[in-house]
Structure 1
Amino acid sequence: MFKTRFAVVFLTLFLAAITASAQKTDTSKKDSVKIDTALLNKYRIDPPKNALPVRVRALQIEPELIPLSMLDYKVNYWHKWITFGLNFSQSAFSNNYSAGGVNAIALGTNFDFKTEYNKAPFDYTAELNLIYGISKNKGQGSRKTNDRIFFDNKIATQLSKHWFFFGSLSFESQFDKGFQYTDASGAVLANPLLLSNFMAPGYLTESMGFEYKPVKYFDLRIGTGTARQTFVKDTTIYHNQPANYGVLPGHTFKNDLAFQIVALLDKDFMKNMHINARYALFIPYERPLAYTSHRIDAILTAKVNRLINVTVNGTFLYDKSTSPDPQGTEGMALGIAYRFP
């Protein structure tokens, strides 16, 4: 009986040992097998998709206003130019200089200021021109060589591409007294004759009409309605100036209604050469055509370098109220001129 039980126990333990060894070997082999994930993904069964309909909205793009902070920039409709010139000349001779000569000093100045406001269709232009020259020769007093005050203002509104309707106001006179030093034959007068003075004459001109401006450097004013006041504040001038600038002797004022044409040219026609010219035609309505006046003022400037230049200026005038004959003046100088900007 005992033997039988022992045999059964032994047999059970033996079988358990064999089973455990077989499981260990099988597990080791299973862990060492490589799994092909691509093959698994091939046969993967995904869950069924949602069969319900899906609504898709169309893409809509709309502008959205975003507040922006503007830069602090301002448009300047004003333009300004200033030109200042100074001309000086001097000559000296010893007392025994065989060729002869007179010691002399001459000084000339000019100042030109121009400003413009242009914001279509409105346009405003103003120009101030001041010229004065004086010379002194040994044994003679000081004598002026040039003298002018001119101030012009114009307001215009644009009618078409090249035409404007304008109104203008201008003033013209001189700084100092003007004398005649010789008579008709050329002989020197012992007592020079006073011919002009400040506001003797002086002119104030109002005009309105149409302006033609085909290019920036040229414009033509046609003043169909023009009035000019002539002032002669020094009533003693008529003793030496019979015409008295059109004002009755002893009077200081005269008014004329007229038709006026003014042409202006301001251009660099070469690299270092500039011309500024003004022509004025004045036809009084209440006087014969013989009293039509013409005046041309021109300045030609040639720059040597930034500061040094040569200027040639001239004036032509025909006005029977001033003289029965044409009048003219011309001058040339080398000096310093500065223009800015």
Structure 2
Amino acid sequence: MRKRYIVNLMQQYYLLLLWAAIPEFSTKQPTHMHKLLLFLLFVFFTVTSATAQVEPDTTWRRTFAAGINLNQAAFSDNWKAGGISSIAFNAHVDGRADYKLGKISWDNAVQLQYGLLKNKGEERRKSIDRIFLDSKYGYAISTDWNTFVSANFLSQFTKGYEYDIDADGNDRLISNFLSPGFLTFALGAEYKPNPYFSLRLSPFAPRFTFLTDDAVAANERYGVPEGKSVRTEWFAAMVQATYNRDIFTNVNLRLNYMSYINYKELSGKRIDHMFNSTLTAKVNRYINVNIMANFIYDYDQDSDVQYNQSLGLGILYTMQGFTVN
């Protein structure tokens, strides 16, 4: 009981620190950004308060992890070596719910990431923003192979900008929720020789690209034709690979790769690639060091590789084998 009380105090202290650290966070009129951050914090602290003991369910394998990282640097105005005061906040949620009964399997995953960065003298900016949902229904045809049908969704929470792009220093809106948004269905075979690695091969994978924000559409099209809000690619293939394993004691490595091939635009530079990785080292039950990296190549967005990377120290809570009533 005493240990649980101390953990609750730590959570409250961390929330107060975040509240004070993010500029304008405590204004009387909360913005949509403030509400989003409060929602992420609410989800995290609500989950970490759950302590119910339940009987194990052998048909379901569930895991949940929620983390908050906070990076900060401060320099006095007369610091001669150079530098700028800054603070960065990053929250992430990872969940899985996998069902298996006989030859039937149903795997579900959610990955949410959101981060903010504030440098002294600059407006607050996003450092990362990602929504990824995946669901797969499979039927085993051998020990290591399944046939499957799946659906996944990829987008972001809030508006994204290209900063200071003209002579007047104006920002340019280039993305938003469902602008773009990607919904992909796939049919194929999966190779899964062990619990921590899988490879999906989908010769038929139609994809729908959404562009619902007119302000974004005026600046970026993401392959969606002019005058349209949805692009449909019926004849395409997809390859997905995942690796999720504790490579050392208290050190977990998760890798995800996905490529998308449109048969009508079959050339090397037209194949889309997405790769993301997360390395988490737990210092103790709640404190962790987290390194995340995302790489994207999509010719319809940019002819060069896009990437982001973050390193943070924060708190992480994980649950396994729990039951959802």
Say whether the fold is shared (TM-score over 0.5): yes
Structure 2: which 5+ residue stretches go unaligned?
1-54, 321-325
Aligned counterparts of 2:289 and 2:232: Cα–Cα separation in 1:
40
Question: Contact conserved, 1:204 with 1:228, CA < 8 A, in 2?
Answer: yes
Deviations 1:210-261 (A, max 9, x none): 11111111011111111100001112324433xx111013321001121111
Deviations 1:9-59 (A, max 9, x none): xxxxxxxxxxxxxxxxxxxxxxxxxxxxxxxxxxxxxxxxxxxxxxxxxxx
Question: What residue is the counterpart of 2:43 in the other structure?
Answer: none
Question: What residue is the counterpart of 2:49 in the other structure?
Answer: none
- In structure 2, the CA distance between the partners of 1:166 and 1:104, relative to structure 1 (3 Å rule), is same
Aligned counterparts of 1:314 and 1:74: Cα–Cα separation in 2:
34
Aligned counterparts of 1:75 and 1:305: Cα–Cα separation in 2:
27
- In structure 2, the CA distance between the partners of 1:189 and 1:84, relative to structure 1 (3 Å rule), is farther
Deviates most, 212-221 or 189-198 = 189-198
Aligned counterparts of 1:291 and 1:155: Cα–Cα separation in 2:
29
TM-score relative to the length of structure 2: 0.77
Are 2:103 and 1:125 aligned?
no
Structure 1: which 5+ residue stretches go unaligned?
1-72
Aligned counterparts of 1:217 and 1:188: Cα–Cα separation in 2:
50
Residue from 130, 139, 152 that aligns with 1:157: 139
Question: What residue is the counterpart of 2:296 in the other structure?
Answer: 317
Aligned counterparts of 1:218 and 1:331: Cα–Cα separation in 2:
24
Question: What residue is the counterpart of 2:184 in the other structure?
Answer: 205
Count of residues in Structure 1 that have an aligned counterpart in Structure 2: 264
The one-letter amino acid of 2:86's match is A
* Structure ID, larger Rg: 1
Three-state SS of the structure 1 residue aligned to 2:187 is strand
Three-state SS of the structure 2 residue aligned to 1:325 is coil
Give, in angstroms, the shift of residue 117 of structure 1: 0.7
Question: What residue is the counterpart of 2:15 in the other structure?
Answer: none
Are 2:253 and 1:271 aligned?
no
Question: What residue is the counterpart of 2:121 in the other structure?
Answer: 139
Coordinate RMSD, CA, aligned: 1.8
Aligned counterparts of 1:270 and 1:74: Cα–Cα separation in 2:
26
Aligned pairs for 1:1-341 within 5 A: 76-183=58-165, 190-241=169-220, 244-257=221-234, 258-289=236-267, 290-341=269-320
Question: Contact conserved, 1:235 with 1:249, CA < 8 A, in 2?
Answer: no
Aligned counterparts of 1:251 and 1:316: Cα–Cα separation in 2:
28
- In structure 2, the CA distance between the partners of 1:292 and 1:74, relative to structure 1 (3 Å rule), is closer
- In structure 2, the CA distance between the partners of 1:74 and 1:306, relative to structure 1 (3 Å rule), is closer
Question: Contact conserved, 1:181 with 1:189, CA < 8 A, in 2?
Answer: no
Three-state SS of the structure 2 residue aligned to 1:236 is helix
- In structure 2, the CA distance between the partners of 1:189 and 1:178, relative to structure 1 (3 Å rule), is farther
Three-state SS of the structure 2 residue aligned to 1:246 is coil
Question: Contact conserved, 2:164 with 2:170, CA < 8 A, in 1?
Answer: no
Deviates most, 98-107 or 276-285 = 98-107
- In structure 2, the CA distance between the partners of 1:74 and 1:93, relative to structure 1 (3 Å rule), is closer
- In structure 2, the CA distance between the partners of 1:176 and 1:189, relative to structure 1 (3 Å rule), is farther
Question: Contact conserved, 2:211 with 2:217, CA < 8 A, in 1?
Answer: no
Give, in angstroms, the shift of residue 189 of structure 1: 6.2
The one-letter amino acid of 2:319's match is F
Three-state SS of the structure 1 residue aligned to 2:222 is helix
Aligned counterparts of 2:305 and 2:92: Cα–Cα separation in 1:
25
Give, in angstroms, the shift of residue 272 of structure 1: 2.2
Question: Contact conserved, 2:118 with 2:124, CA < 8 A, in 1?
Answer: yes
- In structure 2, the CA distance between the partners of 1:223 and 1:101, relative to structure 1 (3 Å rule), is same
Identity of aligned residues (%): 36
Runs of 4+ in 1 over 6 A off after TM superposition: none
Aligned counterparts of 1:288 and 1:76: Cα–Cα separation in 2:
44
